[in-house]
Amino acid sequence: MALSKKDILDMESLSVDEITLILDTADRMKEISQRPIKKVPTLRGKTVVLFFYEPSTRTRTSFDIAAKRLSADSLSLSASTSSMVKGETLMDTGRNLEAMNPDVIVIRHTCAGAPHVLAKILKSSVINAGDGMHAHPTQSLLDLMTVRENKHKISGLKIAIIGDISHSRVARSNIIGFTKMGADVVLSGPPTMIPMGIETLGAAVTHNVEDAIEDADVVMMLRIQKERQQQFLFPTEREYSMVYGLNNARLSKAKDDVLIMHPGPINRGVEIAYDVADGPYSFILDQVTNGVAVRMALLYLVTGGAHHADTD
Amino acid sequence: MPTLIRGGRVIDPGHVNDILDIVIKDGIIVDIKQNALEKGNDTDFTVIDASGKLVVPGLIDMHVHLRDPGQEYKETIESGSRAAAFGGFTAVCCMPNTNPVNDCRQVTEYILEKAAKAGAARVYPVAAVSKGLNGEHLCEYGELKEAGAVALSDDGNPVTNSRLMRRALEYSTRFKLPVISHCEELSLAAGGAMNEGAVATRMGLPGIPNAAESIMVVRDIALSELTGVPVHIAHVSAMESVRAIREAKRRGVPVTAETAPHYFLLTDASVKGYDTNAKMNPPLRTEQDKEAVCQGLADGTIDVIATDHAPHSLIEKAVEFDRAANGVIGLETSVPLGLKLVDAGILDISGLIEKMSTNPARILGLAAGLKIGLPADITVIDLELSYQIDAGRFQSLSRNTPFDKWDVKGKAMMTLVGGRIVFCDKNFKS
């Protein structure tokens, strides 16, 4: 089966079958990264542009490594080194890049919908690496992969997502992704960080973090940004950690085989206690490892790899 | 040559609703009656056959942005007043948020000069409440009135300082300049790109709550009550605002209000796909708000339909949604969109003409209507003509409308300003 989509923009536009195909492909890709020679010729001659309007270390590196392991040529552009600083619009930058015939444009942007607008005007494949507060589909896919790998299923699991839901594209994509695959998603966080109408995405909301964690199969903590204090969303990191932070006492309410996840970067001592982040239930670094596999799978699938090459 | 408008259904809300002829001499209506001239006696007249058409007092759009001076690539007084004439408007009120701001005699006079030269719809300048729209000092209302301003507003910006708003209301009465208020509580609206709610949450866009509007509506009602001075609320979008205005009117507070076609026809669902033509301030709200606005129009809570015609070029609109400018154009779509209210049974024809002509005239203190002795500002409308809106053919220099390709019914066929034909549809033979 091949992926019929040109672009990977959000979890909403992916079907259950497409998600399953991506996860299955990622499972097979993962092995490549464990070889002594971590490179296959599959995407030789393909060009992948990593276009990051917003700072990123993890996601950009992950895409870069994924492209290189498949022998694609990848190059990075950031807002500060592109013509953006000279006042060029996103559409013009996109059209100029396209004139150099790249195969895939991976874009991260501070504005929601930017990848969608770009995808509409470009023939190249566009992969959304995070747009504003909207979507982060590759993160959601790597989270789904991590859960499926360790629980051998997704359907029927209880997934607790805790923190600043309002500002989180990871939360939005995971609510949609996990509910689509049959899991129950429960959200918790300060009432100031729960956006209006979020339940219409299919998640339940509780303001009591213990209720969210109780019997959870997965507890996903979100990063708390200090600057949100200026928007009156929470008073102090100290109080946040006391009321909402994941510590061992709270964790004991979850299932015995709970997975603790975090999209990173983590704030130790704020949303997650130091020892919990490093503890036996933490799969935070497995997520990062799987991120490379998921992105290899996506680059492979959107370039039509399944039609004319195999993963060896 | 005198003009005869023959055989149309003449509607002047509250006065006339009949098949009548209108006789115009020297730009003035001199007679309105049945069979004003026998056929054969009309050879000295320009005869307009309006049979089967509606003949109404010239439509007035009391809330437009003509972008001139300063942003002439978006619109000019010439193109905007011509777009108005094509849309059936004999007059528009242009907001002062130009560059430079219309806060002094020179800018007001410049606008009037350019409008006179354009010779399309009348242009009534709205001057700023505060110098530079900065909310710090009152403008010189006396001189602005003398120069030709018809109203005051800091539109685009709210008057955040309540004391300044109070004094503006009081001081303006000496010059009979009504104050139009853009109601927005900036600290609540800050950073927002669309209506706050389920759609914004799903799209990951920062939201603007209804309360950002209604809080200021309630404040302005309180200030109107305190001073006894009328206040006109611009572009009402939220149900809480409608409710507050309805309740205030019931108590006798001299508040009036306007809304725009996009608020009674669209909801925030139009933003899906990150369509920047559906981005405006205040934002498109929910189905409930849309219904409340319609109810407010039906029961008289909302007096006026204006367009908030806000031209922007692709430079401002073909960008990321967060970064796109607020505003949609409306002059050339307002008549057919307003008629959708008649189709839906929310207003009758007479009620619609009230909201698009006689009510704005009353609020602005302008003489208007189809009466002997008044200037012949007249719009002829075909209620039956069905067509598709084509933004590509607009007179406006801008194309930012969410209504492009809509199937509509009803169109202005002819617009007369002071007896002069400033627009005649190519399919309308006079």
pLDDT in tens, B364-422: 999 989 999 999 999 999 999 999 999 999 999 999 999 999 999 999 999 999 999 99
Q: What is the pLDDT of residues B199-224, one digit of tens each?
A: 999 999 999 999 999 999 999 999 99
CATH code of the domain in which B234 resides: 3.20.20.140
Same fold, A16-135+289-308 and A137-287: yes
- Say yes or no: B168 contacts chain A, CB-CB below 8 A: no
Catalytic residues of A: 58-59, 86, 108, 136
- Say yes or no: B288 contacts chain A, CB-CB below 8 A: no
For chain B, percent of residues with pLDDT exceeding 70:
100
**Would the pLDDT of B430 be above 90?**
no
- Give me the helices (H) in B318-391, please: 334-343, 349-353, 359-364
Amino acid at B71: Q
Number of A to B CB contacts under 8 A, please give it. Answer: 67
Chain centre distance of CA B67: 15
Two tokens at B109? 């006079």
In contact, A219 and A259? CB cutoff 8 Å: yes
| Overall domain count for chain B | 2
Q: What is the pLDDT of residues B238-263, one digit of tens each?
A: 999 999 999 999 999 999 999 999 99
- Out of B342, B364, B386, pick the residue that ends a domain: B364
In three-state secondary structure terms, B407 is: strand
Same domain, B267 and B403: no
In contact, B242 and B296? CB cutoff 8 Å: yes
Nearest CA in chain B to A130: B204
Q: What is the pLDDT of residues B272-313, one digit of tens each?
A: 999 999 999 999 999 999 999 999 999 999 999 999 999 999
- Mean pLDDT of the A56-69 span: 95
Closest to B321 measured CA to CA, from B285, B357, B277: B277
The span from the CA of A223 to the CA of A237, in Å, is 11
Contacts of B203 in chain A (CB under 8 A): 112-113, 134
**Would the pLDDT of B41 be above 90?**
no
Domain that holds residue B387: 3-55+374-424
Same domain, B271 and B393: no
In three-state secondary structure terms, A220 is: strand
Contacts of B320 in chain A (CB under 8 A): 90, 109, 111, 113-114, 117
Closest partner residue to B202 among A110, A132, A200, by Cβ? A200
**Would the pLDDT of B2 be above 90?**
yes
Q: Please give the mean pLDDT across all residues of chain A.
A: 94
pLDDT band at B43; cut points 50, 70, 90: confident
Nearest CA in chain B to A134: B204
- Give me the helices (H) in B330-393, please: 334-343, 349-353, 359-364
Residues in Cβ contact with B68 at an 8 Å cutoff, skipping those fewer than 6 apart: B75, B76, B77, B78, B80, B98, B111, B114
- What is the model's pLDDT at position A41? 96
Same domain, B96 and B34: no
- Out of B364, B385, B400, pick the residue that ends a domain: B364
Q: What is the pLDDT of residues B113-135, one digit of tens each?
A: 999 999 999 999 999 999 999 99
β A125-131/A104-109 pair status: parallel
Higher pLDDT among residues B324 and A225, named by residue: B324
Cis peptide before A263 (omega within 30 of 0): no
Which residues lie across from B20 on neighbouring strands?
B8
- CATH of A137-287, picked from 2.60.40.730, 3.30.2130.10, 3.40.50.1370, 3.40.47.10, is 3.40.50.1370
**Would the pLDDT of B7 be above 80?**
yes
- What is the model's pLDDT at position A308? 47
Two tokens at B224? 């109107």
How far away is chain A from the Cα of B321, in angstroms, using its nearest Cα?
A: 7
In contact, B116 and B146? CB cutoff 8 Å: no
Q: What is the pLDDT of residues A86-124, one digit of tens each?
A: 778 889 999 999 999 999 999 999 999 999 999 999 999
- What is the model's pLDDT at position B18? 97
Answer whether B320 sits within 8 Å of A90, measured CB to CB: yes
Q: Please give the mean pLDDT across all residues of chain B.
A: 97
Same domain, B359 and B382: no
Closest partner residue to B198 among A89, A134, A196, by Cβ? A196
- Angle, helices B77-86 vs B105-118, to 10°: value is 50
**Would the pLDDT of A147 be above 50?**
yes
Q: What is the pLDDT of residues B221-239, one digit of tens each?
A: 999 999 999 999 999 999 9
CATH code of the domain in which B8 resides: 2.30.40.10
β B54-57/B378-388 pair status: antiparallel
Nearest CA in chain B to A197: B198
The span from the CA of B241 to the CA of B222, in Å, is 13
User: pTM to 2 decimals?
Assistant: 0.94
Residues in Cβ contact with B98 at an 8 Å cutoff, skipping those fewer than 6 apart: B66, B67, B68, B69, B70, B71, B107
Closest partner residue to B319 among A89, A131, A169, by Cβ? A89
In contact, A302 and A104? CB cutoff 8 Å: yes
- Angle, helices A90-98 vs A114-121, to 10°: value is 40
Nearest CA in chain A to B194: A112
The span from the CA of B23 to the CA of B4, in Å, is 5
Is residue B389, in this structure, part of any structural domain at all? yes
Q: What is the pLDDT of residues A245-273, one digit of tens each?
A: 999 999 999 999 999 999 999 999 999 99
Closest to A173 measured CA to CA, from A8, A1, A2: A8
- What is the model's pLDDT at position A3? 87
Answer whether A112 sits within 8 Å of B201, measured CB to CB: no
Dihedral, CA of residue B356, residue B357, residue B362 and residue B368, to nearest 10: 180
In contact, B20 and B8? CB cutoff 8 Å: yes
Is residue B429, in this structure, part of any structural domain at all? no
Which residues lie across from B54 on neighbouring strands?
B9, B381
Same domain, B304 and B407: no
Is residue B430, in this structure, part of any structural domain at all? no
- Mean pLDDT of the A174-197 span: 97
Is residue B47, in this structure, part of any structural domain at all? yes
- What is the model's pLDDT at position B204? 97
Q: What is the pLDDT of residues A3-36, one digit of tens each?
A: 889 999 999 999 999 999 999 999 999 999 999 9
Helix (H) or strand (E) holding B93: strand B89-94
Is residue B67, in this structure, part of any structural domain at all? yes
In contact, B257 and B303? CB cutoff 8 Å: yes
Structural domain boundaries in chain A: 16-135+289-308, 137-287
DSSP one-letter code for B247: H
The span from the CA of A123 to the CA of A127, in Å, is 12
The span from the CA of B278 to the CA of A184, in Å, is 34
Most A-contacting residue of B201, B271, B315 (CB-CB within 10 A), to test interface: B201
Same domain, B327 and B357: yes
Two tokens at B365? 């203190």
Answer whether B319 sits within 8 Å of A201, measured CB to CB: no
Q: Which CATH architecture fits A16-135+289-308? A: 3-Layer(aba) Sandwich (3.40)
Amino acid at B168: A
**Intra-chain end-to-end CA distance of chain A, in Å:** 17
- What is the model's pLDDT at position A230? 81
- What is the model's pLDDT at position A311? 45
In contact, A189 and A170? CB cutoff 8 Å: no
- Mean pLDDT of the B19-46 span: 91
- Out of B331, B364, B397, pick the residue that ends a domain: B364
Same domain, B206 and B105: yes
Answer whether B196 sits within 8 Å of A201, measured CB to CB: no
Residues 312-331 of B with CB under 8 A from A: 318-323
How far away is chain B from the Cα of A9, in angstroms, using its nearest Cα?
A: 12
- Say yes or no: B187 contacts chain A, CB-CB below 8 A: no
SS3 letters for A111-172? CCCHHHHHHHHCCCEEEEEEECCCECHHHHHHHHHHHHHHHCCCCCCEEEEECCCCCCHHHH
Same domain, B43 and B91: no
Is residue B369, in this structure, part of any structural domain at all? no
